[in-house]
Amino acid sequence: MMKAFFSKTYQTITRTFISSLLMMSAVAFAEPQIWDVAVIGDGPSGYSASIEATRSGLSVLHLTGNDIGGQISRTPTLDNWPGEPNHLSGAELIVRMKKHSLSTNRVKMSLYVDGIAKQGEYFALRTNMGVYFAHAVIAAPGASPNIPMQIMTRDNLPTGDNIHTCTLCDGFNYQNQPVAIIGGGNTAAEQALTMANIASQVFLLVRKDTLRAQQTYRQELEKNPRVTILYETQAVNITHRSHFLQNIQHNLRLKLNSSQPTDSHLDVDALFIATGQTPVTEFVDATLLDREGYLRNRQNPHQVTSSALLKIARRSPNPFDIVQASEGVKTFVQLQQNLLTRSNHNNTQDVIIIGDSAGAYSAALYAARDNYKVTLIPWPNNPSHSSVFWPDFGSINVQTLKARMRKQVTHAGVRVIDNDTQVVMSHLYGYWQVSTSEGTIISKTLIMDESASPSDDLQDVRSPEEGIFVAGDAVKGSVNQAITAAAAGKRAAMAASNWLLNNRPYR
């Protein structure tokens, strides 16, 4: 009887073992699922790309990693998202996008990508949980700010509590308050000049005995009464007001290490770190990166123009598409160099914007948030499209979106002139004169909607490697804003969809 028991047990174990081997073999030799596109990225670019690709009918594998939202998720107040008149945080924006993306038919995995390799007709993506395959890849991994090591202590990580890395994003929150900026290059100089229009005082902390910024920036900084440059100075410790036993007037106390005769500490309401960023591109083949590790694209580096007239490129047939909003922001960023030397002419505006589009409203919003005087003339009125798709709203009525944008720019201080008659423009003695129904307006600079037919070759979102598309902060020269990142993600998905029409095997 004992012998029969062991015999039966042995047979059961043997059958189980053989069955397991057969299952393992079946899995090992099963044909892996091939996705149309794999999206890598956890910020606005990644979410926007995965949503747009799914809307194009593609099967999408979205690899986000664990740091959902990236840098934008640590922005405490995001008041420059076009079409959102109420303040929200960066984390709230990402939650909106995530919620919207989860409603689409695609797969999201919190996996890290270790490498990408071309394998026949497919790309093999090696992750911490195995290998996945896709016909095309959209890389939107983002970038990380370079934080000086002397202030990177365990209890003192710059994660958004009055410590920021972008004046364009957060500077507006510190009207008439003292701020400090760390850095000595062009980025730090630009941020210092921007904050000089907003803050009561700007302290620029430069580690060396000279600025690396170009000469025009140095000259503007030195003659600006609101800017104090502290050479050979470093912030070696940061203490928040809540940590003090006694009451102080400002949010932060910076302990300084300086070779110059200066106080040992500096009290400010905000600190901006402008020491550059590092793209998160370790998993990308070096042939697809530039010397600094940024993703390469097929477009030449963008050259900033100093023209007093700029046009918002027309890239979408719908003037209130998110891509047009992005173009408006990029146009304003180009114009900032002109606005550094502001006009003293009486009754002049720093910038006049003529156009009725998401780009015109977005450019007006960004200019006003930097304390420039702005006049917006929504002319001519564009034919109303019934609706438009945004990655956080979903499908939204164009008139509703337009009303939200108008409320947002008006609240920011933009003068809006509704003009039903012909607008007459002339350029004389370095100033633009624009005749409207409310009289003539004089300005040094002018932004206009491009009137030509929509045109977008999508070359700036295409990698040198066929089948790989790029978007977001990891692309050299990108404007590091949530709206531009989301638009880039959408355009990368459009480029991938177009490419797959001719390069995806029949399925």
Answer yes or no: are the C-beta atoms of 446 and 6 closer than 8 Å. no
Helix (H, G, I), strand (E, B) or coil at 277: strand
Looking at residues 180-184, what average pLDDT do you find? 92
Cβ 436 vs Cβ 377: under 8 Å: yes
Q: Where are the alpha helices (DSSP H) in 300-357?
A: 322-339
Q: Where are the domains of the chain?
A: 34-142+279-297+462-503, 149-275, 309-449
Residue 244 has pLDDT above 60, yes or no: no
- pTM of the predicted model as reported, rounded to 2 decimal places: 0.83
pLDDT of residue 371: 85
- What pLDDT score was predicted for residue 426? 85
Instruction: List Cβ neighbours of 444 (8 Å cut-off, separation of 6 or more).
Output: 308, 338, 342, 343, 345, 348, 350, 351, 430, 431, 432
CATH of domain 149-275: 3.50.50.60
Supply the pLDDT for residue 217.
Answer: 83
- Provide the β-strand partners of residue 258: 233
Give pLDDT tens digits for 59-100: 999 998 766 677 787 777 788 889 888 878 888 898 888 888
Eight-class DSSP state of 300: P
Residue 93's identity, in one-letter code, is L
| Distance from C-alpha of 69 to C-alpha of 150, rounded to nearest angstrom | 26
More confident residue, 383 or 316: 316
In which band, very low, low, confident or very high, does the pLDDT at 182 lie, cut at 50, 70 and 90?
Answer: very high
CATH of 309-449, one of 3.40.1190.20, 3.50.50.60, 3.40.50.620, 3.40.50.300: 3.50.50.60
Q: For 415-424, write each residue's pLDDT tens digit.
A: 999 865 667 8
pLDDT of residue 491: 92
The CATH topology of domain 34-142+279-297+462-503 is: FAD/NAD(P)-binding domain (3.50.50)
**Phi then psi dihedrals of residue 114, to 5 deg:** -95, -25
Least confident range of 314-318, 367-371, 378-382: 378-382
**What percent of the chain has pLDDT above 90?**
29
Q: Is the pLDDT of residue 494 over 80?
A: yes
Which residues lie below 8 Å from residue 234, measured CB to CB, with a gap of 6+? Answer: 148, 150, 205, 207, 256, 257, 258
Q: How far apart are CA 111 and CA 125, in angstroms?
A: 11
Cα–Cα nearest to 423, from 385, 367, 381, 463: 381
Number of Cβ atoms within 10 Å of the Cβ of 249 = 8
**Whether the Cβ atoms of residue 447 and residue 355 lie closer than 8 Å to each other:** yes
pLDDT exceeds cutoff 50 at 290: yes
In angstroms, the CA 56 to CA 279 distance is 28
**Neighbour tally for 255: CB within 10 Å:** 15
Indicate whether 28 pLDDT > 80: no
Name the most confidently modeled range: 118-122, 308-312, 322-326, 436-440: 322-326
DSSP 3-state assignment of 431? strand
DSSP symbol at 88: B
pLDDT of residue 27: 36
Spatial distance between the Cα atoms of 64 and 44, rounded to a whole number of angstroms: 11
Q: Which residues of 455-479 are buried (b: 16+ CB within 10 A; e: fewer)?
A: ebebebbbbebebbbbbbbbbbebb
For residue 33, what is the DSSP state? P
Q: How confident is the model at residue 434 (pLDDT cuts 50, 70, 90)?
A: confident
Answer yes or no: same fold for 34-142+279-297+462-503 and 149-275.
Answer: yes
